[in-house]
A and B are shown apart, each in its own frame.
Chain A
């Protein structure tokens, strides 16, 4: 009863992971999700096209219906909302979603039975028209994911903590990843000067390039080897990677660290200009 990308059914289902309708494609397009910061309300718009003439006709006749599963495992939210084929819009009230939200559209049989012409479906279903019963799944879209809530707006550097220690030679820095925040240890003299830079108006941009960027490269390497779910920095980086669309696979670390920090080197000149 779970809908997954590898689920197979003993009857024809229009989906990208089946070849049951060889000449058709079920497409779900979702626009960038709109979140109202004050209320937390989430508005999701999109377009649904079964892309098959017989199914289009059956939808128009009301023999098939469309719906959208919205699932957020973090908040135990699960709703099935009726949507119309073509353009649709749904709204989820504030306070219900946080973290990864998954969307999957389906088409199901709303009439007592629906006879699908044999010519439309894969030959493995036989030469006769195929009879689908009421409430049977007739089509499943691919899954679409987005990140809900304000966590994604938290600046990346909030997972770092600067720590002063005389055990580090002045001018060097050391990264620790065993704690909830990533600890950057520096000599007390450097600690004071870094704090001065951090507290100056544009100093943040300079530190992103010169301090956080190399630290993040090291951290991405650690994160690719150990799934440290119990640490806050790991969950924050994992979530940020999901938003930016990069994998935590230990490859291409320099490029990925720059993407996660929103290309900080490109903004250094603004900081330097402001400081001069």
Chain B
């Protein structure tokens, strides 16, 4: 396994790329950015290394299975990144415009034209806001998927990913709802409950009822002080109440 330095582009390059999406549409769709990269300031080195191998295996299929596998591949490649560096727009610009350009094109641009195409480029090739690096950028969202999954279920991040990607709604209500999900004591408890009893995952109505019960039972509770077994008991009580409420 040969390791490469994690590189990033200069600030002026990043600004220029965001400001010139329309002029660069052909580069995004086919030609690529090698010519611009050779003109300079695309190769500022961090002191971190990554394995380029897994990034070559990224699958552009638009399926939950591909999203899960891609998240694992990006993590294998880039686990050296820290969360604070994984918010750096200029690192992800480098990956989406050079190393992972083919994947990013096929996954997010194929079939798009006109305004839809420029919107997709702005969303998936840059990572300059929290929602962009967490939810939109073609490569960074995969890194954050795995990082969050690992945080919620350290013993089995791949299981956590399979729950999060059970439906679009599930990712929306977990990863993209940091208000609640940023408290790992609660979110990890929710995921453990779902992993042990998949009744709740079968229909959106069940998941919503469970969350209502949890909001009632958990109001004012300091979950972070509770033992894992105590949290699991509380979650299971909420699950039982949700099942009773929805019983035919």
Contacts from A to B (Cβ < 8 Å): 1-2, 9-11, 13, 40, 65, 67, 69, 71, 73-78, 80, 94-99, 106, 108, 110, 135-137, 148-149, 158, 161, 179-181, 229-230, 232, 235
Other-chain residue from B87, B128, B220 in contact with A136 (beta carbon distance below 8 A): B220
Q: Smallest Cβ distance from A31 to chain B, in angstroms?
A: 22
Report if A158-B11 is in contact (Cβ < 8 Å); known contacts: A78-B183, A136-B221.
yes
Report if A80-B84 is in contact (Cβ < 8 Å); known contacts: A108-B222, A108-B225, A135-B221.
no
Is there a chain A Cβ closer than 8 Å to B14's Cβ? yes
From residue 207 to 243 of chain B, which have CB atoms closer than 8 A to chain A? Answer: 214-215, 218-226, 230
Chain B residues near A161: list those with CB within 8 A.
12, 15
The 9 closest A-B pairs by CB, nearest first: A95-B82, A80-B224, A180-B15, A75-B83, A98-B84, A108-B222, A78-B182, A179-B19, A1-B218
Q: Given the complex of chains A and B, what is the CA–CA distance between A69 and B225 in angstroms?
A: 12
Would you call B178 and A76 a contact (CB within 8 A)?
yes
Chain B residues near A65: list those with CB within 8 A.
225
Chain A residues near B98: list those with CB within 8 A.
none
Size bin of chain B's contact surface: 35 or more
Q: Smallest Cβ distance from B75 to chain A, in angstroms?
A: 15
Is there a chain A Cβ closer than 8 Å to B50's Cβ? no
What secondary structure prevails in chain A residues at the interface with B? loop
Chain A residues near B14: list those with CB within 8 A.
180, 232
Other-chain residue from B19, B151, B222, B230 in contact with A76 (beta carbon distance below 8 A): B151
Interface string of B77-103 (1 = CB under 8 A from A): 000001111110000000000000000
From residue 108 to 147 of chain B, which have CB atoms closer than 8 A to chain A? Answer: 128-130, 134, 144, 147
Q: Given the complex of chains A and B, what is the CA–CA distance between A2 and B181 in angstroms?
A: 10
Would you call B147 and A76 a contact (CB within 8 A)?
yes
Report if A99-B87 is in contact (Cβ < 8 Å); known contacts: A1-B180, A76-B147, A78-B183.
yes
Contacts from B to A (Cβ < 8 Å): 11-12, 14-15, 18-19, 82-87, 128-130, 134, 144, 147-148, 151, 178-180, 182-186, 214-215, 218-226, 230
Q: Given the complex of chains A and B, what is the CA–CA distance between A235 and B129 in angstroms?
A: 9
Would you call B222 and A106 a contact (CB within 8 A)?
yes
Q: Smallest Cβ distance from B134 to chain A, in angstroms?
A: 8
Report if A135-B219 is in contact (Cβ < 8 Å); known contacts: A73-B178, A96-B82.
no
Would you call A76 and B11 a contact (CB within 8 A)?
no
Chain B, residue nearest A150 (CB)? B84
Q: Smallest Cβ distance from A73 to chain B, in angstroms?
A: 6
Report if A96-B84 is in contact (Cβ < 8 Å); known contacts: A67-B222, A135-B221.
yes
Report if A67-B224 is in contact (Cβ < 8 Å); known contacts: A2-B180, A180-B14.
yes
Q: Smallest Cβ distance from A52 to chain B, in angstroms?
A: 19
Q: Smallest Cβ distance from A181 to chain B, in angstroms?
A: 5
Chain A residues near B225: list those with CB within 8 A.
65, 67, 80, 108, 110, 135
Q: Which has the most chain A C-beta neighbours within 10 Å: B86, B129, B144, B222?
A: B222
Would you call B11 and A1 a contact (CB within 8 A)?
no
New A-B pairs, 5, CB < 8 Å, besides A71-B182, A108-B225, A181-B12: A10-B220, A80-B183, A95-B82, A180-B15, A229-B129
Q: Given the complex of chains A and B, what is the CA–CA distance between A158 and B84 in angstroms?
A: 21
Would you call A76 and B148 a contact (CB within 8 A)?
yes
Q: Smallest Cβ distance from A120 to chain B, in angstroms?
A: 18
Other-chain residue from B144, B147, B148, B219 in contact with A1 (beta carbon distance below 8 A): B219
Q: Given the complex of chains A and B, what is the CA–CA distance between A74 and B220 in angstroms?
A: 25
Q: Given the complex of chains A and B, what is the CA–CA distance between A95 and B88 in angstroms?
A: 12
Would you call B18 and A180 a contact (CB within 8 A)?
yes
Q: List 30 A-B contacts (CB under 8 A).
A: A1-B215, A1-B218, A1-B219, A2-B179, A9-B220, A65-B225, A67-B224, A67-B225, A74-B87, A75-B83, A75-B86, A76-B144, A76-B151, A78-B182, A95-B84, A97-B84, A98-B83, A108-B225, A110-B225, A135-B225, A136-B221, A137-B220, A137-B222, A161-B12, A161-B15, A179-B15, A180-B15, A181-B15, A232-B18, A235-B129
